[in-house]
Structure 1
């Protein structure tokens, strides 16, 4: 089976949605992600909910290229979360034909986070969207087992766990836990690499995640172990931001390099598993 790849917004964060679609098309991706809401206040986001002209241009670019929108970022489960606040987000996702929502687990109260996640799943399901918790080692939902626990307790068919190799490698997660994760929970997965070892400071963890990831095969993460345990039909989101390596490179050149290295590594894994 030929794998499918999506260009993650964070890889080329400076590109607005139409430019993301064009860049994905030119460099061989089948899809791309769009960050509708910023990761933190004042961060970069492209709120198509509030910009009808940019939404029209995005849809036209999709028609022209055949590239689809795979995932939307980011909805965070906070202590004050209300799923109804995101109806415009879901509506735009439906217009784009998007499949997945990236979800951050920011609430320290797991019972409340679980209830919020259930309400999010219920609210976005009519729009054809899944909700996928990306565990991150500096957040309350910090490992694969914590994300699975919330998804299972929420009991929603469109709930999922998003596996990011960087966060997996730097959290208290195991390959056994990944292998045991129900395949129905894996709607898509990310790929990247990073130096071996786990930073002791949260600021370092965040810096690497947002600014210093490595192309697949250029770091020390056990990508073979991870991707041997993820179904090969899973859409792969290529999320590799690196400010230093990208210096002097165009977004198109960087996106192409990240796709090439990802394909090479996963092709090798697939060949060895046959």
Structure 2
């Protein structure tokens, strides 16, 4: 049996305590919180690291048994001082998180040295809190591929660094999941999972799908069998925003469907996927 975490983007707009309640009702064991706001539309109008919010989140976690794997998002960006992440690191550690998601959003192609420097600095800031910084490669960000991320990690060489793999971005890059076999296993601490159709995506289409129209595992074209082969015990964070389904089903039922689909794929059986496709009663 795996651990499954409900990622913030699957139920966007909720506060951390609300996310805990949804995760518990939907059957998850963990929740992945957004403790660093990105200034995008729809984020709750709160300071997620406010002591009152953290106390309420801890209370909800204690009452439901929900735990925390990771928090997000430490962006590498020229207008963001990494010191600003410290409140989120402290709050994340207080909530029991051991992992932080990081991605690079710089605007030039010859800034590898700057990215390595900033990533290393973020790792240093997180180390006293017992946090590992996991570098992700959204297919429309500055580091858009597995190889680009691995290169940064090899150059940085931080003791608390990791690599976050999202099955969607591997799919967008036409990179087989078996490519992860050559990545040091100690770098991969958890995975983001969702599904997508097998079509040629433009950059704008990638952004739209990633933010608003991901599919339940088993609905699309991604072959997840490699994950069970390479990472049989790794926690899976379900990051699956789907605006249409959240609107029609509500956050709780959408989250429940995400988990049931993931369990059908990773733990055997296809009843859920068949039902979604209208093939079973």
User: If the length of structure 1 is used for normalisation, what is the TM-score?
Assistant: 0.91
Question: Would the alpha carbon gap of residues 71 and 242 (structure 1) be closer, same or farther in structure 2, given more than 3 Å must change?
Answer: same
Query: CA offset at residue 43 of structure 1?
Result: 5.1
2:149 maps to 1:147: yes
How many angstroms does 1:198 deviate by? 2.9
Contact 1:17 1:34 in 2 (8 A): yes
**Pairwise CA RMSD:** 1.8
208-217 vs 125-134, which deviates more? 125-134
Once the two structures are superposed, residues 67-92 of structure 1 have per-residue CA deviations (whole angstroms, 9 ceiling, x without a partner) of 11221111111134533222111111
State the 1:180 CA deviation. 0.6
Structure 2 unaligned spans of 5+:
270-281
Q: Partner of 1:268: helix, strand, or coil?
A: coil
Question: Structure 1 residue 245 and structure 2 residue 245: aligned?
Answer: yes
**Separation of aligned partners in 2, 1:250 and 1:55:** 25
Q: 2:128 aligns with which of 120, 126, 129?
A: 126
CA contact 1:136–1:171 (8 Å) conserved in 2: no
User: Please, which runs of 5 or more residues in structure 1 have no aligned partner?
Assistant: 270-274
Which residue does 1:52 correspond to in 2?
51
Q: Give the aligned partner of residue 137 of structure 1.
A: 139
Post-superposition CA distance 1:83-113 (Å, at most 9, x none) = 3222111111121111111111112411110
The answer on whether the counterparts of 1:193 and 1:220 sit within 8 Å (CA) in structure 2 is yes
Q: Which residue of 2 aligns with 1:224?
A: 225
Q: Is the 8 A contact 1:83 1:116 kept in 2?
A: yes
Rounded to whole Å, the distance in 1 between the matches of 2:169 and 2:200 is 10
What secondary structure does 2:248 align onto? coil
Q: How does 1:170-189 map to 2 (within 5 A)?
A: 170-171=172-173, 173-189=175-191
Instruction: Give the C-alpha shift of residue 34 in structure 1.
Output: 0.9
Are the aligned partners of 1:31 and 1:69 in contact in 2 as well (CA < 8 Å)?
yes
- 2:261 is matched with 261
Report matched runs for 1:32-43 at 5 Å.
32-42=31-41
Q: Contact 1:179–1:229 at 8 Å: present in 2 too? A: no
Aligned residues of 2:170 and 2:177 also touching (Cα < 8 A)? no
Give the deviation of 1:236 after TM superposition.
0.2
Aligned length: 265
User: 2:210 corresponds to which residue?
Assistant: 209
Matched residues in 2 for 1:3 and 1:151: separation? 27
Cα distance change, pair 240–92 in 1 and its aligned pair in 2 (3 A): same
Deviations 1:201-242 (A, max 9, x none): x221111001000000001122224x1454122110011111
